[in-house]
Amino acid sequence: MFLTSDFCFLTWCFCIKFSRYCSQNLAGPRMKIAVIGQSLFGQEVYKELRKEGHTIVGVFTIPDKDGKADPLAAEAEKDGVSVFKFPRWRVKGQAIPEVVAQYKATGAELNVMPFCSQFIPMEVIDHPKHGSIIYHPSLLPRHRGASAINWTLIHGDKKGGFTVFWADDGLDTGPVLLQRECDVEPNDTVNTIYKRFLFPEGVKGTVEAVRLIAQGKAPRIPQPEEGATYECIQKKDNAKIDWNQSAEALHNWIRGNDKVPGAWAEVDGQKVTFYGSSLVDNGTTANGQPLDIPGASRPGLVTKSGLVLFGNDGKALLVKNLQFEDGKMIAAAQYFRSGSSAAVELTEEEKAFAVWQSILTNVAQIEDSTDFFKSGAASMDVVRLVEEVKLRASSCQLQNEDVYMNTSFQDFIQMCVRKLRGEDDEEELVVDYVEKNINNMTVKMPHQLFINGEFVDAEGGKTYKTINPTDGTAICDVSLAQISDVDKAVAAAKEAFEEGEWGKMNPRDRGRLIHKLADLMEEHQEELATIEAIDSGAVYTLALKTHVGMSIQTFRYFAGWCDKIQGCTIPINQARPNRNLTFTKREPIGVCAIVIPWNYPLMMLAWKTAACLAAGNTVVLKPAQVTPLTAVKFAELAARAGFPKGVINILPGSGSLVGQRLSDHPDVRKLGFTGSTEIGKHIMKSCAVSNVKKVSLELGGKSPLIIFSDCDMDKAVRMGMSSVFFNKGENCIAAGRLFVEESIHDQFVKRVVEEMKKMRIGDPLDRSTDHGPQNHKAHLDKLVEYCQTGVKEGATLVCGGKQVQRPGFFFEPTLFTDVQDHMYIAQEESFGPVMIISKFKSGEVDDVLRRANATEYGLASGVFTRDISKALYVSERLNAGTVFVNTYNKTDVAAPFGGFKQSGFGKDLGEAHDKLLTLTFFVVVDPPLLLAFVSRNCLR
């Protein structure tokens, strides 16, 4: 019998031999290949061919530019492969004999041309025994020629892709070897379709074509003439916009020329190039400053979102960026303000913030007017410049676009300094407020959706009224999100996570942003508490302390976790002859959808969102439809704190529409829900069917509170009142049923009634109010019905049970006694100010535990007794996520919170927060082979 390590060693030997067999017999024989081309694409093809075991006998590429080698040449030179940099292969249509001779001397059996801008003579194309293959970014025979990707977009093709074909005399008419296609998205540009499909899949396809040749299985499919097209090369001169077209045709023309050569038109007497086009939904109205464009069917509109243009069909498109003849690029929304920025006075330290010199090596001295691109910089230098700035000043979060929009040294430095000082107002946040003079202050309330860093109207301009429960009047109209709005928000969150600066941000910088958000919330705490009071009915003093206060604490707590989310090393059995290193790594999961309830609108937002952000996720949140206002105010504060676009998105709307779409959406990777058990079950099913997304649920409760005769009576009465009537009873952990030992039952009830009579019902903004209105009319009606059911079943209604006769949704604090186990009010929660009291016989601890646990809920519970042994015994046997002993409602951001059974699963708050420990990698590294086995455990 083999020992484990011996077996592993033999398994390893088998795997190595099997791998060699597969590589030799499945990939085919190795070939001598000449790679003819350039660019990063050519570099990647070259690297993959070497990995396949082929011998690269020569790399033929373009001469160095400004002293820098092409990426393909640089890679080959690093490997010691022969590199030839011919300026040309032909003169006056004839091949240069010396060039052809140098090529033939390499002994190539196949020419691979992954991206080739030079004209290669047929003497070279036909020389190898296997001929030559070339990559072309179109589905030949459509769009033959050098601008194939451009014309795919200009023509509005729904399908794109690439072809690997047998090279002919340069007319792209040779036989097809391999093709791959993809869908063309409505707003794709040359850059997006290239990055998403043509580059990564093109590399794989080219290598696969070589593999087919090596195996002797490569087809030669003649190109048909039917469907063949050949358009001109897109150059700046012929990229001028013809305005006499539909909006869709204009959009296709602009995106088809983005970024090179750039679609342009004359505006205000100069050539202006348009970038970043997208179609505008029908029915959307735009407000902005008119911009006259010669030849256009109507003037454009400079709006907060960009430049709106119109086709001859009356439909619209939106352009994000503009570039002038001098190379300066601006956000289209800034067109009328492009020259109004005041110069920033630089400190000596800030003047030294120059990193251009190391990049622009051919410039002797950089002056304020020095232009980055006119001095020889290229697109790769933009990346290098941005990364060097980030290394020197991590708080200056640049994007490549910032360089294109600030090409002169002075403009670039001023832009960087503004970012460092937090004064970057290039895209000013535009907020349409509803203002109210209330609570001795002016309250400014946003009321639109918040998507991708902007407040926007819902599709079709749909709205609804949010109601003040104090008097039943409308506070304002709020945008009502539609399915298309959900899709936009999720797309923005996905983009921010995968491509934006949020996903690349240092965890400590992420923590700094969250701390800044908490500071802004504290600056606006009175305003937030006032909004919470008028929108949810929360008593202002409670809103200030708990609804807002704990929200601020939550963001501060999790801001501190950002750079402390750590993995661990794990000791494992060692496999001879090597020793293994095993470790875990925790990473964010992606887009998190959050659906929150109406009882604590801001606090539930904080509980669910803070840890998501700390872990590096992005968020799409749906507040309760009846309490949206603190959520959209929070969105404004997050934007002002500097959160990147798309990281936080807020969608007021209905649960059946917005919540359902979030549950079904394939790009949402985690959904957190607080609400009813019935809806929680439905959400869990939808999440499973859609894409098996992770779910955490905080659902209904019927929390038992057991009060023994040896309790501190004063404390039991005070905390018993709090356990039921805190926040008008609209409290997920409210004591849904009190079990009082019979020897003190009557005394306890008498004391509670006395305290209830002292409770002051009234305006939540009045500092002396104890009990404000219920959240909304439907809930008030439900409470009335709940109490009527209790009376019908025979429970004793001691006091309350009715709506207060005054405007608004006020309900009397209510007390029921003589409640039997079989009654509806003993089994179901009221979620309101209704105290349910049942007796239990003295000394029957196990029996009262049985009755307390006879529920499908398990969120919270409590016990009051002076006997420490009894307290421990009872607390260990109560089936609830939280057990309070001689207290109640004491939650803290550092203590985990959550239930089980039909109260849901998953934890909020504390180190055990599900959203904090988001994604765990388990990695085993076996040196020297460096084999890695990765197991993902997505916690939240």
Query: What residue type is assigned to position 878 of the chain?
Result: L
> With 90 as the cut, is the pLDDT of residue 641 above it?
yes
pLDDT-derived band of residue 115, with 50, 70 and 90 as boundaries? confident
Are residues 465 and 477 in contact, defined by beta-carbon separation less than 8 angstroms?
A: yes
State the pLDDT at residue 604.
96
> With 60 as the cut, is the pLDDT of residue 613 above it?
yes
> With 90 as the cut, is the pLDDT of residue 209 above it?
yes
Look up residue 887 and give its two tokens.
Answer: 């207290």
State the pLDDT at residue 349.
45
Instruction: State the Cα–Cα distance between residues 224 and 82, nearest whole angstrom.
Output: 38
Q: Average pLDDT, whole number, for the chain?
A: 87
Residue 618: its H or E element: strand 618-622
Mean pLDDT, residues 660-668 taken together: 96
The DSSP result for 846-874, as a single string, is HHHHHHHH-SS--SEEEEE-S-HHHHHHH
> With 70 as the cut, is the pLDDT of residue 914 above it?
no
Active site residue 698: yes
Query: Tell me: the pLDDT tens digits for 241-256?
Result: 999 999 999 999 999 9
Instruction: State the Cα–Cα distance between residues 531 and 356, nearest whole angstrom.
Output: 49
Q: Which of 136, 547, 771, 776 is catalytic?
A: 136
Instruction: State the Cα–Cα distance between residues 799 and 793, nearest whole angstrom.
Output: 16
Query: Tell me: the pLDDT tens digits for 136-181?
Result: 999 999 998 888 999 999 999 999 999 999 998 867 899 999 999 9
pLDDT-derived band of residue 372, with 50, 70 and 90 as boundaries? confident
Instruction: State the Cα–Cα distance between residues 627 and 537, nearest whole angstrom.
Output: 10
State the pLDDT at residue 587.
87
Query: Tell me: the pLDDT tens digits for 429-448?
Result: 888 999 999 999 999 999 99
> With 90 as the cut, is the pLDDT of residue 778 above it?
yes
Q: What percent of the chain has pLDDT over 90?
A: 66
Query: What residue type is assigned to position 12 of the chain?
Result: W
Residue 589 half-sphere exposure, CB side, CA atoms within 13 Å? 26
State the pLDDT at residue 910.
82
State the pLDDT at residue 822.
96
Cis? peptide before 222, omega within 30° of 0 = no
Residue 270: its H or E element: strand 270-279
The DSSP result for 897-934, as a single string, is B---GGGEE--BSSTT-TTTS-EEEEEEEETTTTEEEE
Look up residue 283 and give its two tokens.
Answer: 């029915």
Query: Tell me: the pLDDT tens digits for 396-405?
Result: 667 776 777 6
Residue 113: its H or E element: strand 110-113
Mean pLDDT, residues 33-37 taken together: 95
The DSSP result for 720-750, as a single string, is HHHHHHGGGG--TT-EEEEEEEHHHHHHHHH
Active site residue 562: no
State the pLDDT at residue 331.
82
Instruction: State the Cα–Cα distance between residues 3 and 587, nearest whole angstrom.
Output: 37
> With 60 as the cut, is the pLDDT of residue 295 above it?
yes
State the pLDDT at residue 577.
60
Which of 51-60, 371-380, 579-588, 798-807 has the least mean pLDDT?
371-380
> With 90 as the cut, is the pLDDT of residue 474 above it?
yes
> With 80 as the cut, is the pLDDT of residue 918 above it?
no
> With 90 as the cut, is the pLDDT of residue 345 above it?
no
State the pLDDT at residue 917.
41
Name which residue leads in pLDDT, 348 or 88: 88
State the pLDDT at residue 226.
87
Instruction: State the Cα–Cα distance between residues 413 and 350, nearest whole angstrom.
Output: 8
- Our measurement of the distance from residue 811's CA atom to the centroid of its chain's CA atoms, rounded to an integer in Å, reads 41
State the pLDDT at residue 386.
77
Look up residue 37 and give its two tokens.
Answer: 């081309």
In order of 3, 726, 827, 889, the CA distances from 9 in angstroms are 10, 65, 62, 59
Pairing type for strands 176-183 and 796-799 reads: unpaired
State the pLDDT at residue 427.
55
State the pLDDT at residue 18.
47
Active site residue 687: no
Phi-psi region of 604 (alpha: psi -120 to 50; beta: other; left: phi over 0): alpha
Mean pLDDT, residues 667-691 taken together: 93
> With 70 as the cut, is the pLDDT of residue 925 above it?
no
> With 50 as the cut, is the pLDDT of residue 549 above it?
yes
Annotated binding site: 118-120, 172, 596-598, 622-625, 655-660, 675-676, 782, 829-831
Mean pLDDT, residues 606-611 taken together: 95
State the pLDDT at residue 629.
97
Annotated binding site for NADP(+): 596-598, 622-625, 655-660, 675-676, 782, 829-831
> Rounded to the nearest 5°, which phi and psi values hold at 660?
-65, -40
Among candidate residues 644, 643, 599, 592, the one with its CA nearest the CA of residue 623: 599
Mean pLDDT, residues 536-549 taken together: 95
State the pLDDT at residue 358.
62
State the pLDDT at residue 260.
82
Angle at 657 between CA 656 and CA 660, to 5 degrees: 70
State the pLDDT at residue 896.
87
> For residue 704, what are the β-bridge partners?
737
State the pLDDT at residue 927.
42
- Our measurement of the distance from residue 771's CA atom to the centroid of its chain's CA atoms, rounded to an integer in Å, reads 39
What the chain holds in terms of domains, given with CATH numbers, is 29-215 (3.40.50.170), 236-337 (3.10.25.10), 348-421 (1.10.1200.10), 433-698 (3.40.605.10), 704-909 (3.40.309.10)
Name which residue leads in pLDDT, 678 or 13: 678
> With 90 as the cut, is the pLDDT of residue 385 above it?
no
Which of 50-59, 194-203, 717-726, 906-915 has the least mean pLDDT?
906-915
Annotated binding site for (6R)-10-formyltetrahydrofolate: 118-120, 172
Instruction: State the Cα–Cα distance between residues 608 and 616, nearest whole angstrom.
Output: 14
Instruction: State the Cα–Cα distance between residues 674 and 897, nearest whole angstrom.
Output: 12
What letter would DSSP give residue 758? H
Q: Which of 562, 592, 732, 787 is catalytic?
A: 732
Name which residue leads in pLDDT, 547 or 356: 547
Look up residue 139 and give its two tokens.
Answer: 């589905």
> With 50 as the cut, is the pLDDT of residue 1 above it?
no
> With 50 as the cut, is the pLDDT of residue 712 above it?
yes
Are residues 188 and 5 in contact, defined by beta-carbon separation less than 8 angstroms?
A: no
Name which residue leads in pLDDT, 591 or 922: 591
State the pLDDT at residue 348.
46
The DSSP result for 109-171, as a single string, is SEEEESS--S---HHHHT-STT-EEEEESS-TTTTBSTTHHHHHHHTT-SEEEEEEEE--SSS
State the pLDDT at residue 351.
47
Query: Tell me: the pLDDT tens digits for 304-315?
Result: 778 999 999 989
Q: What percent of the chain has pLDDT over 70?
A: 86
pLDDT-derived band of residue 16, with 50, 70 and 90 as boundaries? very low
Query: Tell me: the pLDDT tens digits for 850-909?
Result: 999 999 999 999 999 999 999 999 999 999 999 999 999 888 988 888 888 999 888 888
Query: Tell me: the pLDDT tens digits for 477-531?
Result: 999 999 999 999 999 999 999 988 898 888 988 999 999 999 999 999 999 999 9
Residue 198 half-sphere exposure, CB side, CA atoms within 13 Å? 28
Mean pLDDT, residues 740-751 taken together: 97
In order of 225, 294, 373, the CA distances from 270 in angstroms are 42, 11, 20
State the pLDDT at residue 4.
42
pLDDT-derived band of residue 393, with 50, 70 and 90 as boundaries? low
